[in-house]
Amino acid sequence: MLRIAKQPMPALAVTLALLLVSAGAVAGSPVTAEPAAKSYFGSLASKVALSDRLERFDFATIALNELINAYDTSYQESAQEQHGKPKAQLKLARWRRESKIFVYQLKSQFAGISDQSHIEIQADQSGAIILFIDNAPVVISGPEIGKAGQMEQRIIDRFCKLHDCTRYHNTPPSPLTSEVRKVRGGWHIQNRQGATYETNDGLIFVFRSLENRAEKQARCEAIAHDLRMLVAALQNAQRAGYAIDWTLLTVATLHDGTTEHIVINSAGDYLNMDLSFFGSHRGLNQPFLGWAEKRAAGKPASIVITDAEQLVR
């Protein structure tokens, strides 16, 4: 989603426009906690905003450079995407066209910045960092939710190599990551009813027999890991202020059929994840997504897959 004014506007009008554009990303559940790197990034930015001209200049140029790189990379990768539906093709073409214009604007702005530029650093209501470079605003928000923390961490790392960041924070910055526990389940023999493989977070796979048990267990654990990764990524997205519309959660794939993007809302925001299970078993998505929705909300959840044999075919 592009977050920069495309035509010259008064600073206040541009700011309002940016906040309106951001509104789609902050609707939904209230943000109750910030991811580690996001929190440090916001704290660092707010303190650099009060620092001298040189530190603000370094922060702004590094952030702009990383933002350009993020959109450039996403633009290049999108050239490999192929969609069968005309609507999806049109949407991708429009995104590529707007991204190309956006990157050109960013590069022009980057070329014009100097240590004499007037630089302000602010945060909007969602916590997004906005640079005002000679009164022209840019929101430091990359094209992919899943990589937002990575971009912020690169900005932190580069800036803190130039300046002593220990005076800004008591603890060192850490990358935005989600700890996903590797938890194994257990087998339960059902009298005359086959066997079930159950995890302690409520995934129950029902098999007709224990034949090829190792293969079945490995598949169940892979699915459970994918689902936990999805839940962790969605929780990070919510903490970062993005709305999750579970009725619109969809999987977009590359031309080779490998799952690449998980679109999370009507604004087109997406997670850059490879959950191959969802790509090859679309008919099974709904019960698993219902489980993921509850888990993402911190609620207990349980689902029973009555014909789990199909998962290992």
Range(s) of the domain holding residue 299 = 186-312
41 belongs to a structural domain: yes
140 and 36, same structural domain?
yes
The answer as to whether 195 is a domain residue is yes
Last residue of a domain, one of 118, 133, 167: 167
20 and 152 co-located in one domain = yes
Whether residues 53 and 132 share a domain: the answer is: yes
Classify residue 3: in a domain, yes or no: no
The answer on 160 and 225 residing in a single domain is: no
209 vs 190: CA distance, rounded Å:
9
Q: What percent of the chain has pLDDT over 70?
A: 71
Domain boundary among 167, 198, 223: 167
pLDDT at 158: 92
* CA separation for the pair 29, 33 (Å, rounded): 11
Tell me the whole-structure pTM to 2 decimals.
0.47
Distance (Å, whole) CA 103 – CA 217: 47
199 and 148 assigned to the same domain: no
Question: What's the rounded Cα separation, in Å, for the pair 282 and 286?
Answer: 8
In a domain, 276, yes or no: yes
Average pLDDT over residues 100-123: 89
Each residue of 3-59: pLDDT tens digit? Answer: 333 222 223 222 222 322 333 333 322 222 334 344 578 888 988 998 888 899 999
Indicate the SS3 state at residue 13.
helix
- Compare 76 and 251 and report the one with higher pLDDT: 76
**Calpha distance 160→121 (Å, rounded):** 17
Over residues 149-204, the pLDDT tens digits come to 788 889 998 998 888 887 775 443 444 444 455 566 888 887 767 889 998 889 99
Q: Name the domain count of the chain.
A: 2
